[in-house]
Structure 1
Amino acid sequence: METLNPFDDENQPCYILRNAEYQYSLWPDFSAIPAGWASVFGPAPRGQCITWLEQHWQDIRPTSQRRA
């Protein structure tokens, strides 16, 4: 039996996490938030999280590179 990766599961509720460099991550809601990351959106369906990312994360470079 094939196991679905939770990051590929359209029905998996997710969070949007942000680190100190203002980089974002799509994170499944059943998994503990890793150190150095904070929730900024969710939990919400994966599609809503992706829409949030598309609207709020226009520059994927870390903050330290944007300042340079």
Structure 2
Amino acid sequence: MSEQHDEQTSYRVVLNDEEQYSIWWTSRTLPDGWHAEGTEGTREQCLTRINELWTDLRPLSLRRRMNTTTTAA
């Protein structure tokens, strides 16, 4: 069964433990490992919010590792 998504579809901004962002339909259960950021709205609104939040595309574990290496040097 395929679900149709259009301008009326409501989305939410989600992120995982590595602080990687995505959007997900509000009508569907989030996949394991992802949780809601708090923003819901149109696809465009959610993508705009992600652009505001996700300024460093490196996964959290890489940023931490690079920060530790830089601090130890």
TM-score (norm 1): 0.77
The change in CA–CA distance for 1:4 and 1:62 in structure 2 (over 3 A counts) is same
Q: Which residue of 2 aligns with 1:29?
A: 26
Q: 1:43 aligns with which of 31, 40, 43?
A: 40
- Percent identity between matched residues is 34
More helix by share: 2
How many residues are matched? 64
RMSD of Structure 2 on Structure 1 (CA):
1.9
Q: Which residue of 2 aligns with 1:57?
A: 54
- Structure 2: which 5+ runs fail to align? 67-73
TM-score (norm 2): 0.72
Q: What are the residue-to-residue correspondences of 1:2-13 with 2, within 5 Å?
A: 6=5, 9-13=6-10
Q: Which protein is bigger by CA-based radius of gyration?
A: 2
- Structure 1: which 5+ runs fail to align? none
